[in-house]
Structure 1
Amino acid sequence: MNLEQNEELAKQILRTGMYANLYDKETTYGYLTYLTYRVEDTLFTWKKESDADGFWADLTWEEYIAFLQREKTLLLAAQRVLLSTVMAFPVSAFDFTLEEAEVDFPVTRYDSAGMLHMAKLYSFENCISIVEFLMFRAERAYYPLWKEQRGPHYTWELYIVELLHSRREFVDPLSRAFRNALVQLDFLPAWQIIYPTIQGDTEIG
């Protein structure tokens, strides 16, 4: 399934409305910003380590972001890595036993002025089909735990209503598992597959 088919599948699922949106749009976009940073940082860190004498050797973070912004092929590859990694995150990897979740996500690529430079991959409007799809997957993993307790008549519809209107004790384990998943996503395997296919086209000049 290619990038466009994956994105359309995510949108079709989310159009049904049969999921609980636990965060407002600003928070959701904040999560997308963090994932964007992670995708871009993963490629930069990997290539700086594996290509110490080549194209990436003397490239600074600021030069890399400028390079990423002007190279459409690389920008599209970053989008593909982000979307494919989110969609492949296994349901079994969500941990609903956590007592605490990430509060401050680790970010290290600040410049001397305290600014974080990144290449924007998705618009505010398009963040829904990525971050909320990961939330949908977390909800799908959380549902069997409650169905086992509530019995065979506990439908998905009842579950979603309960997520939207229930006590924090019910929702918080899901929220913690989701936030933990944001940190656990590993973008390197996808980069190791995708980047070699575009390397010859991007590493010029």
Structure 2
Amino acid sequence: MKTTIFDLQHSLFLVFLSVLKILLVEHRMDSADGKLYRFCEPAANKGIKEFITYKDMSQFILNTWLLHTDAWHIAESAVTDPFKSRLPSTLQSPIHSLVANFKSKKNTNAFCDFLDAKFNHQIVCDYEDDGYFGEHAANYFELRNLLDTRNTDDYSNTGFQLFCSSINHGENIYIIQDADVFSIKRLDNPQDAIDSYAAHIFSGQDGEFDFKPYMVDF
């Protein structure tokens, strides 16, 4: 099989990601209080832990290249749209912010009923309704965006949208295609999928990355 420049760029980028993964920064749950901390192990910071408040982002994401470089924070601050990013992001907007017409009464009921049945939990449908929060929060779950392959100013029914779930502390990643709530699947092998997606973008390959091989029903 002929090796192209894109194949070489893709391979080099995956090597770069592997190098980032060995940096001595770790995010893990503290068993004493159940909170998520960033642990820094270099000599100057040995033993120091810093409390962070990522909303239901899976631990395997936090321990990869995603948050091993401050460049992502710089990139996020330069994004024109405050609700979504083509790169894995800590912005984590709720699903209704990314799907056109989600908030219309007809669609909200249909989407929420579908997601309630799919996850066997009740999803937060209205972020202005206090009944979903406070002492009642444990009765509901959220889907918050990890990345959106559309351009930051594009809300058309295209691309792939990835979400973290508040169920099981976000350990599973879910994905919809073309902003279609009813197409939701679980993302299989999400770390490989996201690394390959990033390599596709940064190596300048043509066309959209295809997440479909990683999409499995649940």
- After TM superposition, the score normalised by the length of structure 1 is 0.25
The structure showing larger relative contact order (alpha-carbon pairs under 8 Å, at least 6 residues apart) is 1
The structure with more helix, counted as a fraction of residues: 1
- After TM superposition, the score normalised by the length of structure 2 is 0.24
